[in-house]
Structure formats: C-alpha cells, structure tokens
Chain A
Amino acid sequence: MPTATPISRVNDFVVRFANVNGSGSASANELFARAVMRMGVPVAPRNIFPSNIQGLPTWYEVRISEAGHMGARGGTDLMVAMNPQTFERDIGSIEPGGYLFYDSTKTLPASKFRQDITVVGVPLTAICNREYSDARQRQLFKNIIYIGVLTALIDMDVKVVEQLIGEQYKGKDKLIAPNIKALHIGRDYATLNLDCPIGLRLKKSDKVGDRIFIEGNSAAALGAVYGGATVCAWYPITPSSSVADAFTRHCAKMRVDAKTGQAKYAIIQAEDELASIGMVIGAGWNGARAFTATSGPGISLMQEFIGLAYFAEIPAVLFDVQRAGPSTGMPTRTQQCDIISCAYASHGDTKHVLLFPEDPAEAFEFGAQAFDLADRLQTPIFVMLDLDIGMNHHLSKPLVWDDARQYDRGKVMTAEELEAGKDFGRYLDVDGDGIPYRTYPGTHPTKGSFFTRGTSRDRYARYTEEGAPYVDNMQRLIRKFDTAKDLVPRPLQANSAKPTKYGVIYYGSTAPAMDEAIHMIEAGGHALDRMRIRAFPFHSSVNSFVAGHDFVFVVEQNRDAQMRSLIVNECGIDPVRLVPILHYDGTPITARFIAKSIGDRLDALTVKSMKVVS
C-alpha cells in the first residue's frame, strides 16, 4: 500500500504519457485525448517533444478538467511510463498519491518505485510478442494496447474509443478491426488482472459544448484563407511550418476553382526567410494579400526587408510562431520571446503592429483581421503565436465568419479617380490619419505611377536627401502608428469583485493559466484586476489600467520581461509599478506557477494583525 492516500478524483486530473519519439505513440495518445473530449469532458493535451525524428524522449500531457481549466497545471497524477530512458525522472514527477502505469515485462526491483504512489504493471511487451510476430506491429499495437488498459483503469467509455478508431481509419477500413482488437486486448487484460478502476475516473459530462479540437497554426492558416490571402511564401522552421502546411491543405479544399481546377492562391516554399519576406513584400506592393509564417530566427533574417516595408509602406502579414531562443535555442519549446524583436524590427526608427491571440479561435480571427489591418495601415502586421498555441490541440470556441463582412483594402486610388484628376501623392497625408493613398502597378497609362524606394522621398515619392521632407515623413509614420491604436483589437479587462490596488497584465498563451490562477489567488484571500493585452500599439486603456493600480504584475513567458519593457517604453510608466512574473523554461506557463509567484508577493504586501500575547 502506498504511504500517501491514493488520489481519488473524477474528471479532474493530469495523465502524462512518456514515450520514445518516432514510436508511433502520438496518434494513440491523441486518440486518448479525443476520447476524453467525446465524453463531454474538457481536455487540454500538450505535446512536449524533442528536436528529433526518432529516439529521443517525448511526452504527451493530457489535462482533464471538468471545470474547464485548459492551461498547463503542472504535476502528473497518472504517468504512463513507456520510455525506459526517462523512467526514473518520470516516476519522480508523479504527485504524491498518484499512479504509475508501466510495462512490467521486465521485473524491476522495488527500489525503482516510490512508496507514495500506486504502481500498475502490465506486461505490454510480453503481450505484444505473444499476439504479433511482426516487429513494427508489436510497436504500433503496443500503443493501442496501453490505451485499452487505460480505458479500464480510469473507466472510459470504450465505445467512444472504438468510434474514434472507426473515424480515424475511414477509407483504410481494414485497419479498423485490428486496432479495435488491440484496444480490447489491453482492456481485457486490465479488467481480468488489475483492480479497476483506480482512483482517477472519467465520467460522461456535457461541458465541451460546441467547442472544437484544433491547433492554433491550422486556425491561423484558415484565418489567412478567410482573410483573402492569395500569396504565401515561407521557409520551413519549427514551430511554424504547420501554418504553411495547413494553408496548403485548406486552400486545396476551399480555393480551387471547381470548373477549371485552377488555384486561387500561390504558395512558394522559398530558399530562405529573406526570400520569403521579399516575395510577400513584392506581392503586397502589387496589391495581393500575402503572408509568411516563421519563428524567431526567421524574424531575425527578415529584419532588413521589414524595415523597408515599414518605410516604403507596404502591407505584409507575418505569423511568428515563437519558440525559445536565442539562435536555435530550444526549437521545440514554447516562449513569448520575440516581443521586442518584432515590435522594433529592423534598423532605423521602426515600430510595428503586433497582435496577440490567446488561442486558436483568436488565431483565426486575428489571422483574418491582420490582412485588413495590413491594407488599411500599409505596413507589416505581426500575428504573435507561440508553440503552445500553434502546435497543440486546443478545445476552442467554434470559428465564425460573418458572410456580410467585406475586406478593407485600405486607401487605393483607382484609374477612374486618377482620370478624374484626383491629386495623387504617394506619401501625402490627405485626411490627417497619417495614411496616404497608394496605387497598384499598372493602374493608369499616364497617372498614378510612382517609384518605391527605401531611401528618402517627398510627399510625391520624389527622391530627396533633404532633412525637412525626411522628418515630415517620419512624423507622418508616427501619426499613422497612432491611428493604429484604435484599429487593433482592444485589451480585455476583468475587474475583481472586491476593489483592489493590484492588477495583472498578461497576453497570448498565458491566458488559460491566468484564468485558472485567478481563482487560486482569490482563494488565497487576494483580489486582482486583470487586463489581457491583445495588440501593440497599446490602446489608451493600458495606460489608465496601470495608472489605476499601485502595482501591476506583468506575466510573460520570457526572461527579459519584454512586454513590460514595451509598456514602460511606450506608455512612459515608472518601471517600479510593473512587477515582472516570468516563466521561461520552455514549458507552457502553469496556473500553479502564476498563483504562487503572485500570491507570494501579495502575501508580503499584506499587513497581518499580530496576535497579542498577554
């Protein structure tokens, strides 16, 4: 018997699968997560994977939460330990009272285990060797067999899993029966030989609603389809490659002319990131909606072009799926570490518009909106995703589109307007918002052409190296950036029920962990107003939020408190008032981390009455 009381919980626990990369475990583990969703129980899986194709350790963490907490929680209640390489540390990460499920084919000494956990051994290798003669089959079906064991251990509805297997192999029907057989081999073994169910149980629920199970990169790419992107130029880089892959897939289904079979899009896998952003800028200059998808190192390579696009005022959309840097850093781990490098990308005086989606639904929404903003503001727009949003499946609100919505193509002067004699100055601010008119190449035989260059020019695009027109132009670019403040998605604010002097600012993939942490912080007796920033440049409400509190915590997933620096710099705020809460080990931030970090600091600030001893 374990020395700690075994955990007993329904629909509220974390299962972690420890596997060897390339062993085919990913699809079995995803099947498990999908089955939880199909049982109506909110689920948040996260893939922790190495920069490797085969052999290195990989983990798949499934957070199951009836209450709907979708951030990473930290800790493991049930470890499915299938990787001998990491066995010891996997056992170490189990919560006291938790469960270990391992392959017991080879007997391990008692010293390998902990006294405060429940150990469940199933001789998976022996079962596979008995059932299958082919080595590859032994490996693949072993994954399904352990899912079968799990269905018995935590009392899952096996019909749901069978149904999913049927859907997964639709069209390859002969694979259905062997997979269902393997599932039952595992389930039957567990039912006959083990004490089922354990203290962790799944019960059918109705908390999933109409939500969908989708990766942020796929949603962002669909946003590009709906937003009217026609040109995609990209270079493979983890964790952004699946944006271009998904765009390719979505376009093949949604953007091919039914009659002619011709494509209403063009996708180029460029030779490098310099070429991909160059193509995007060329296409944007020529009036198409174009984007690239990349990660931090790609942003670094694109710097010169980004500066040109800012100065030459060319629409472009960049999806930056952030990963831990610098340089190659930890290419398969998540961070929010490109905030500064994107906000001020390039040489000279530059500032760029950044959007911070929190999840796939916003990745879709902002992904589409980015193209309107790029055309309206005639400038690069960065959609700041990260690996956690982009590459993990999330239970997300369904994606919606208003069919009455029209694209905002911004200020484009037409041949008719030129013909009618309308004054055209490419860099002329005609209505005070800092945004000039542009023409597409080829518009009119004798009017409206201009020369685009990175060097200085006057309001009519004529080359000049004079100081005054240069300053005039740079001032207009700042006016344009001010205009952007009211066009980009506003921050969302949620005030505590009790009045408080303290606030918290957060953004992007931190949102689900923050949503959960706030309950924990409040349970600790503290109150905190919250603001989720959704875009840069900052709306004026960011200033007033900070002004309205004594201290504001800024929670982010990088070492250098980059968003905090940006707020200090752009809003002119005393840095002392912004307290950084930083998580940057490459794993997604957890509610436990936030609650503890903020809770400890608030505890220190709280004056407690001392008990008077008489």
Chain B
Amino acid sequence: MTYLTKPKFHHPDLPKNELGYTHRDYEGTVSTLCAGCGHDSITGAIIAACFELSIEPHRVAKISGIGCSSKTPTYFLGNSHGFNSVHGRMPSVLTGANLANRDLIYLGVSGDGDSASIGFGQFAHALRRAVNMVYIVENNGVYGLTKGQFSATADRGSKSKRGFVNTDNSIDLVAIALQLGASFVARSFSGDKQQLVPIIKAAIAHKGAAFIDIISPCVAFNNHAGSTKSFDFVREHNEAVNRLDYMSSRMPIEVTYEPGTVEVVEQHDGSKLTLRKLAADYEITDRTAALGFLQQHAAKGQIVTGLLYVEKGPQDLHAHLRTVEAPLNTLNEAELCPGQATLEAFNASLR
C-alpha cells in the first residue's frame, strides 16, 4: 500500500549519476498495482531515464488524470511534486502548470481511458498547442480500476476477458498525435525496456510536445487469448522501426555503426538521437510518411513501435506566446503591477 514507505537504506556501491544520486533517489512509494502490471515496468523505465539523464528529481512535475496509469506518479520521483488531478483533464492542468513555470520538466502520465475517451479533447488540444512536455499514455485497452470494460483504444474484433467482442473502431493515439502536430511521437512496449528507456530520455530532452504511447498489458483484465494488448500478442506483432540511442549534448558519439543503417538527429539542446534503422525506408522526420507507414502496418495487424517522428527545431507554446524567460510564477509586484500613474492615464482616457 502507498502508505508503506520503502526502506531508505541501500547497497553502498549502487552506481551514482553525475549529481551523486542513485536510482533509489528517483523512486517513489511502493506500487499498489497488480503484480506483473505493465505500468510498473514503465515506472521503472521512467526512473531509469531520469537517473541516467541526471535530472534533479525536484525539477520534474508529475501530473496525471485518474485511473491505474494515473496512480503511477506516486511510485516514481518521490522528491517531485505530483498532481493526481481529474479524469481526462491532465493535459489542461499540465498546460497551466507549464505556463506558470517554464523551467520545470513536465511529465504527464495518462491512460487509454483517460486520454482516448473522457480526455480525448484535452489530449488533442494540448498537443495542438505544442506544450513542452512528455505525455505518456500507458495503454492497455481496458478500464482496470472499474474491472475490465473496453477502452477506446481496444481494437475492433478483440475479445474482453468476459468474452465480449469489441465492435467499435479503435483510436490510434499515435496517428492522432502525428496529425495534430506533436513534434515527437513514439510508441513502445512496457515489456521492452531496451527500447523504452532511450525513448523516454529523448522525449525529456525534446523541447516541445512529446507523445509516447506505451502498450502496457493489463494482467488482470486484458492479457488473455483474443486480446490485442496482451504480452503474447504484442511480442508477436511488434514491428519496431528503429532502435534509439540517446546521447546528451555532453556525450561524444563513440559507437560506430554500419554506414546507411544509422540516422543521427540533433535535438534543440544539442543532444543527439542515434537511430539504428530496422525498417530500411523509414524516415523519421517525415510526418506524412509516418502516418502512411502506420496505417499500412495496422492493416496487416502489426504494431509499429520505435521513435516514429521527430521535428527538428520545434517551437513550444511559450515561444508562440512570446513569454518572458523568467518563470511567470517568479514575477513580483514591480514586474506585474503597472501602478497608479498608469492608472491615472487610463482614467483620463475614459472621461
């Protein structure tokens, strides 16, 4: 249970990052999710990504909606402020928080019910607005906390644990994110940490709306034969387009690759995304091609994963609004209040 705190002691030789923190410093309280839940693997991947990036834990704001996925921010980054807000409304809360202080890292954690059903509108508009954030959907195709109803990402024809067949078309959040102008779009699988951790790191470094759809099987309600979100199904149908190595701007690229098999994309902060191509023709800076590729493979029943699109030199909401460099929450009376002299001139213009 969440009120049980983890013991603080740890092995003295645990590896430390540049800030002197071990990965334990990026953990939260003990998970209350079911044993084997895909979401816990994502929690682990977030912890690994933040540890490896040497992020000050308190410089991250974790914001979620309601649902199993939205509970997870309690389980990582215990020294960060977190906000478990309203069902489907994480994007607006995150947008407001981001406007107030542009200097923090915003990690939005949501689920498929939270983002594709009740919060579909807010999901869409936050991406449209280019809010600088990492928006993670822990996608299991099912409502876990209310015991197994289909969500809007459940594939048509897939079967629920109770045997019902879903007759509604599914929503592919990745395709929607691409269409709405998200500047970083990826899909991964909770069971593939090798793929997931670098994607999360790259998304954090990305200065714009970064969206990651993570297929995360629900062991309690959606891991049976007939489900298209089960561990077995996802492993069998996973079509990874690339393998990503994330290099911060401080790290020299030392790995050598076969010519023609690697694509290097430099991000705004100087960090480099080195992509080992698995699909020979995949071009990750071509939004239109990405959409086409997704749909062709979806028609074949394949789940395309990897870093699917990244925009070079994205602009975020603050750039669009031309806000000052200093976080708005640090401005004081002198900077915000125009004073009595201005008011007198204003009064005079209304007589």
- Chain A residues with a Cβ under 8 A of chain B: 37, 208, 210-214, 222, 225-226, 228, 230-231, 233, 254-255, 257, 260-268, 270-272, 274-288, 290, 304-305, 308, 398-403, 405-407, 439-446, 449-455, 462-464
Contacts and interface: CB of A to CB of B under 8 A. Distances in A.
B9 interface: no
Interface string B43-63: 000000000000011110101
Nearest to A282: B96
Contact of A442 (B98, B104, B344, B347): B104
B293 interface: no
Interface stretch (B225-233, B237-245, B323-331): B323-331
A400 B82 contact: no
A171 B83 CA distance: 51
Given A282-B63, A400-B340, A449-B82, 15 more contacts: A211-B351, A212-B351, A213-B351, A228-B331, A230-B100, A255-B338, A262-B324, A264-B331, A267-B321, A275-B121, A287-B329, A400-B343, A440-B101, A449-B58, A454-B85
Interface centre among A225, A278, A440, A462 (most CB of B within 10 A): A278
Contacts of B343: 226, 399-401
A37 B351 CA distance: 8
B333 A406 contact: yes
Which residue, of B2, B74, B100, B346, has the highest number of chain A Cβ atoms within 10 A? Answer: B100
B336 A228 contact: yes
B96 A280 contact: yes
B79 interface: yes
A452 B122 contact: no
A399 B339 CA distance: 11
Nearest to B62: A451
A290 B100 contact: yes
A469 B275 CA distance: 52
Contacts of B276: none
B347 A454 contact: no
Given A446-B58, A452-B81, A275 B336 contact: no
B337 A442 contact: no
B337 A401 contact: yes
Given A268-B129, A290-B100, A453 B350 contact: no
Given A283-B99, A288-B100, A442-B104, A264 B61 contact: no
Nearest to B95: A279
B89 interface: yes
Given A398-B347, A454-B85, A441 B96 contact: no
B236 interface: no
A97 to B, nearest CB: 34
B162 interface: no
B129 to A, nearest CB: 7
A400 B83 CA distance: 38
A254 B345 CA distance: 12
Contact of B94 (A266, A282, A403): A282
Contact of A225 (B79, B83, B338): B338
Contact of A288 (B56, B57, B104, B328): B328
State which size class the interface on B falls in. 35 or more
B115 interface: no
B86 A308 contact: yes
A260 B89 CA distance: 34
Nearest to A37: B351
B185 to A, nearest CB: 20
B170 interface: no
Contacts, number: 229
A287 B121 CA distance: 26
A442 B101 contact: yes
Given A225-B338, A230-B328, A288-B328, A449 B81 contact: yes
Contacts of B89: 274-275, 278, 305
Interface string B283-322: 0000000000000000000000000000000000010011
A463 to B, nearest CB: 5
Given A398-B347, A452-B82, A275 B339 contact: no
B97 A463 contact: no
Contacts of B146: none
B256 interface: no
Contacts of B59: 442
Contact of A268 (B95, B338, B351): B95
B6 interface: no
Interface of B: 2-3, 56-59, 61, 63, 73-74, 78-86, 89, 91-101, 103-104, 121-122, 124-125, 129, 318, 321-325, 328-329, 331-333, 335-340, 342-344, 346-347, 350-351
A228 B340 CA distance: 14
The 6 closest A-B pairs by CB, nearest first: A282-B96, A278-B92, A288-B100, A279-B96, A441-B81, A287-B329
B80 A449 contact: yes
* Central interface residue in A37, A403, A450, A451, by most chain B CB within 10 Å: A451
Contacts of A454: 84-86
Nearest to A280: B96
B8 to A, nearest CB: 11
Contacts of B337: 225-226, 228, 401, 405
B84 A285 contact: no
A397 to B, nearest CB: 10
Contacts of A285: 83, 93, 96-97, 100
Contacts of A452: 81-85
B87 to A, nearest CB: 8
5 contacts: A265-B328, A278-B91, A304-B86, A401-B337, A463-B3
Given A233-B96, A263-B324, A279-B95, A254 B121 contact: no
Given A214-B350, A231-B99, A455 B84 contact: yes
B139 to A, nearest CB: 22
Contacts of A455: 84
Given A305-B86, A454-B84, A454-B86, A275 B92 contact: yes
Given A441-B81, A441-B101, A442-B81, A262 B325 contact: yes
B328 A264 contact: yes
A219 to B, nearest CB: 10
B100 A228 contact: no
A266 B323 contact: yes
A265 B81 CA distance: 24
B95 A282 contact: yes
B92 A282 contact: yes
A222 B345 CA distance: 13
Nearest to B80: A449
A228 B79 CA distance: 29
A255 B86 CA distance: 32
A403 B339 contact: yes
Contacts of A445: 56-58, 79
B351 A226 contact: no
Given A233-B96, A254-B338, A275-B122, A222 B329 contact: no
Contacts of A37: 351
Contacts of B321: 263, 266-267
Q: Chain B CB within 10 Å — which of A280, A282, A308 has the most?
A: A282
A263 B96 contact: no
A266 B337 CA distance: 15
Contact of A290 (B96, B103, B318, B338): B96
A209 B129 CA distance: 48
B325 A441 contact: no
Greatest chain B CB density within 10 A among A222, A230, A266, A286 is at A286
A278 B93 contact: yes
A216 to B, nearest CB: 13
Of A211, A213, A281, A400, which is in contact with the most chain B CB atoms at under 10 Å from its CB? A281
A599 B336 CA distance: 49
A463 B323 CA distance: 36
Contacts of B328: 230-231, 264-266, 283, 288
B339 to A, nearest CB: 5
A564 to B, nearest CB: 33
Contacts of B324: 257, 260, 262-264
